[in-house]
Amino acid sequence: MPARIKVGVIGLGRMGNVHARLLATQIAGASLYAVAESDEQARTRAAAEMSIERIFADPFDLLALPELEAVIVTTPTSTHAELVIAAAHAGKAIFCEKPLALTIEENRTVLAAVARAGVALQVGFMRRFDAGYQRAKQLIAGGSIGYPVTFKSISRDPFCPPRNYLDPAKSGGLILDMSIHDFDLSRWLVGSEVERVTAEGTTLVCHDLASVGDIDNALVNMRFASGALGNVEASRNAFYGYDIRTEVLGSEGAVMIGAHRHTPVVLFTRTGAQHDVMPYLMERFGDAYRGQLQHFIDCLQQGQAPSPDGQEALAALKIGIAATRAYQSGQPVMLSDLEEASL
């Protein structure tokens, strides 16, 4: 059996804790070797709960560990580029939460640093590792629905974001931060690049977002190079539960992924039918998070390139930036124009 990969986690917020616990308990071939987190309470809690010996306040101290082989970057989005570049310079394999950066130029700089270092890079589009989405991909690729004609995706969070997460300068804003999963799925499932987008956005429920120039609901329309059409909805105020659904209509059929129900039970009484609703992220995508990390470790042990990679992250980022600009300007945005402006 190959030796376990020594992995460090940078950032112990919500997602950092998810990745750290998975590495510590469920990922074959991996060892949670070190963590870095600026918050002292989070470091102390991690040390007690996960028996981690190597704990740092400064991520660069973690990256300096010569025996460390790979890192998981789960810090705020605005810090991803700097840390991924530093990890590449240190010769570490990298798993980074989406997106790699907030601008096309910065994303390209990251990819250039990774290429020069010759290290592996995987980006956290975990929905590709969900059983439902993987089955849908197989069905579409196998021709079960003919060729894709329309793509529709819904991503609704069950609460307004916390105040410390509101600033689009740090998160990228609703469209880029939240819908980037849908943009990645659109390319992956339709099998074509997006050419043009239009978008509308509004702030009607999460009023704190207006103070930082963000929105709580958005609709993005897309036209693909293949001629297919797409629609993505993002919302922060689905207070009834975590609602993630996707549909691809083909020339000969359709495939639908996702459902409202958490457990496969419906109660029928004199007052009607009742069922529970998906509570939140880990109940819906817990297996997908585990699957993407296992894929990362398996690829490192087998000397293969993990996927989705930095180029696919860049492609999804471009759609997110174009959609954000379309909302802000009220005009359609061609991705080719966006590409030329970034050169």
pLDDT per position as a tens digit, 331-342: 999 999 986 555
The pLDDT assigned to 230 comes to 98
Q: Is residue 177 predicted with pLDDT exceeding 70?
A: yes
CA 38/CA 44 separation, integer angstroms: 11
> How far is it, in rounded angstroms, from Cα 258 to Cα 242?
11
Measured CA to CA, the distance from residue 59 to residue 186 in angstroms comes to: 34
pLDDT per residue as tens digits for the range 128-161: 999 999 999 999 999 999 999 999 999 999 999 8
**Residue 32: its H or E element:** strand 30-36
Distance between CA atoms of residues 104 and 126, nearest Å: 22
Mean pLDDT of the chain: 95
- pLDDT, mean of residues 295-308: 97
Q: Is 191 exposed, middle or buried (0-12, 13-18, 19+ CB in 10 A)?
A: middle
What is the model's pLDDT at position 340? 54
Instruction: State the CB neighbour count (10 A cutoff) for residue 269.
Output: 7
Give the pLDDT score at 24: 94
pLDDT of residue 339: 66
Q: From residue 283, give the alpha-carbon distance in Å to each of 12, 131, 197, 288.
A: 20, 13, 32, 10
Residue 257 pLDDT: 97
State the average pLDDT over residues 209-221.
95
The reported pLDDT for the residue numbered 292 is 98
Q: Is residue 336 packed enough to be buried (19+ CB in 10 Å), middle (13-18) or exposed (0-12)?
A: exposed
Q: DSSP label at 233?
A: E
**What does the DSSP 8-state code read for residue 99?**
P
pLDDT bin (cut points 50, 70, 90) of residue 259 is confident
> How do 194-202 and 217-224 pair as beta strands?
antiparallel
Mean of pLDDT values over 189-196: 98
Which residue did the predictor score with more confidence, 287 or 164?
Answer: 287
Single-letter amino acid, residue 178: M
As a whole number, mean pLDDT of residues 41-61 equals 92
Contact 242, 134 (CB under 8 A): no
pLDDT at 51: 86
Residue 33 has pLDDT above 80, yes or no: yes
Q: What pLDDT is stored for residue 167 in this prediction?
A: 86
Across 101-110, 141-150, 231-240, 269-278, least confident range:
269-278
Q: Alpha helices of the chain — where are they, by DSSP H?
A: 14-25, 40-50, 59-63, 80-89, 104-117, 131-141, 168-171, 173-190, 281-302, 310-329, 335-342
Confidence of residue 343 (pLDDT cuts 50, 70, 90): very low
**For residues 72 and 237, what is the distance between their CA atoms, to the nearest angstrom?**
30
Task: Name all domains of the chain by residue range, CATH numbers in brackets.
Answer: 5-126 (3.40.50.720), 128-285+316-342 (3.30.360.10)
